[in-house]
Amino acid sequence: MKRIGMLTSGGDCQALNATMRGVVKGLHTMMGDVEIYGFEDGYKGLIYGKYRRMTGRDFSGILTRGGTILGTSRQPFKKMRTPDENGLDKVEAMKSTYKYLGLDCLVVLGGNGSQKSAHMLSEEGLNVVSLPKTIDNDLYGTDMTFGFQSAVDIATQAIDCIHTTAASHNRVFVVELMGHKVGWVTLHAGIAGGADIILIPEIPYNLNHVISAIQRRSEQGKGFTILAVAEGAISKEDAALSKKDYKAKLAGRKHSTVGYELASQIEAATGHEVRVTIPGHTQRGGSPVPFDRVISSRLGVTAAELIKNEDYGKMVIMKGYEIDTIPLAETAGKLKYVSPEDPIIRQAKNLGISFGD
């Protein structure tokens, strides 16, 4: 009988439960009896030995349930080898918990930092299989992460709802969406929601070009403009600064977010009324959309196949609409950015969408 540990780490998303369900149902179907140990609150549970024995019943009825039944926490990879406040060696503690339970494999569901920690544990001799979780869709090596499409749907709904009030009042609306380092959510939601301007971290914007796009719409008799703006969007001027200088500028900025900063600048330059909407963590909440339920089930059962075959040190990925795997070493520490040369950018521009560049 195999003993499997499982944890969810980093930010939550809508399809974590659906993916864990896929793993467990796949294990029970292919291997019969297995012992499942769920670690509470991510790597913290593995470090401090907080876990519970779970049965198939725990994973029943959670396909449509958002969040994670195991809880999660953020444990920065760069601090994993730093002892805690009591001097505990976190890496050795995780290895000790794994060995104490006699685990055959640890299943990690997480994003970039979580995958780096998973790879580290694999290099430390633990059998690890990982699954690509993040609403940002920024994990290198996979075309799609579970949680992304659900987040895009919510972000798109926010833009959809803004359309009617923007048109009614002839206002400019800034919808600030999640995406600190990468802009996949904002890009997809902006296109799906019919945004007129999309600003993402990978394409620094020129404020004058943003203002020109708004004025051009006014000249065409279009009384409103909607901007889909990633929280990490940055101007060309700021992108040219050093990290130190940029942090200093942010510290002195009048407004707390890029959305409000832009709104203030646009109002001053155009005289238009500008309103800001920030859906925030609603983008992580609610039930997973059907697409995410399907790919989560497929990714999860593929992880179970890896465990059955004792094929460890892999992350399950999507290539196109096919499921595949790659070594953890190929993805750990790498982000998948939106390329300004990506065909989707060209296509969006040919729709008349401005990226402020």
pLDDT, tens only, 136-145: 999 999 999 9
Report pLDDT for 96.
97
Backbone angles phi, psi at 323, to 5 degrees: -95, 135
Asked whether the predicted pLDDT for residue 272 surpasses 90, the reply is no
Please tell me the distance from the alpha carbon of residue 105 to that of residue 18, in angstroms, as a whole number. Answer: 20
The per-residue pLDDT for 137 is 97
Task: Please state, in angstroms and rounded to a whole number, the distance separating the CA atoms of residues 277 and 282.
Answer: 12
What one-letter code names the amino acid at 147?
G
Q: What is the pTM of this model?
A: 0.94
* pLDDT attached to residue 49: 96
Spatial separation of the C-alpha atoms in residues 310 and 314, rounded to whole Å:
11
Where do you find CATH 3.40.50.460 in the chain? Answer: 152-284
Task: State yes or no: pLDDT of 252 exceeds 80.
Answer: no
Find the mean pLDDT for residues 279-293: 95
| Distance in angstroms (rounded) separating the CA atoms of residues 103 and 117 | 17
- Residue 333: per-residue pLDDT: 87
In contact, 229 and 205? CB cutoff 8 Å: no
Task: Please determine, for residue 86, whether its predicted confidence score (pLDDT) is greater than 80.
Answer: yes
Q: Give the distance, in angstroms, between the CA of residue 125 and the centroid of all CA atoms in the same chain.
A: 28
For the cut 90, the answer to whether the pLDDT of residue 248 exceeds it is no
The pLDDT of 256-261, averaged and rounded, is 91
pLDDT of residue 44: 96
User: If 0-12 CB within 10 Å is exposed, 13-18 middle and 19+ buried, where does residue 208 land?
Assistant: exposed
283 with 151: CB under 8 angstroms?
yes
Q: Which residues pair with 129 in a beta bridge?
A: 107, 314
Q: Take residue 146 and report the two structure tokens written for it.
A: 């579970």
pLDDT tops 90 at residue 27: yes
Q: Please state which CATH class domain 2-147+288-331 belongs to.
A: alpha beta
- Residues forming the active site: 136
DSSP 337: P
CATH hierarchy code of domain 152-284: 3.40.50.460
Q: What is the mean pLDDT of residues 32-51?
A: 96
pLDDT of residue 317: 98
How far apart CA 38 and CA 29 sit, in angstroms, is 19
High-pLDDT (> 70) share of the chain, %: 100
- Mean of the per-residue pLDDT values for the chain? 94
Query: Residue length, the chain?
Result: 357
Task: Collapse the DSSP code of 60 into the 3-class scheme (helix H, G, I; strand E, B; otherwise coil) and give the result.
Answer: coil
pLDDT higher than 80, residue 323? yes
Contacts of 165 (CB under 8 A, 6+ apart): 171, 173
Euclidean distance between CA atoms 10 and 26, whole angstroms? 24
What's the pLDDT score for residue 42? 96
Mean pLDDT (whole number) for 119-146: 97
Neighbours of 197 (CB within 10 A): 23
Q: Which two tokens stand for residue 267?
A: 């109002």
The whole-number pLDDT of residue 187 equals 98
Closest CA to 176 of 231, 96, 246: 231
Q: Report the pLDDT value the prediction gives residue 239, as an integer from 0 to 100.
A: 85
pLDDT at residue 236 greater than cutoff 80: yes
Confidence tier at 253 by pLDDT (50, 70, 90)? confident
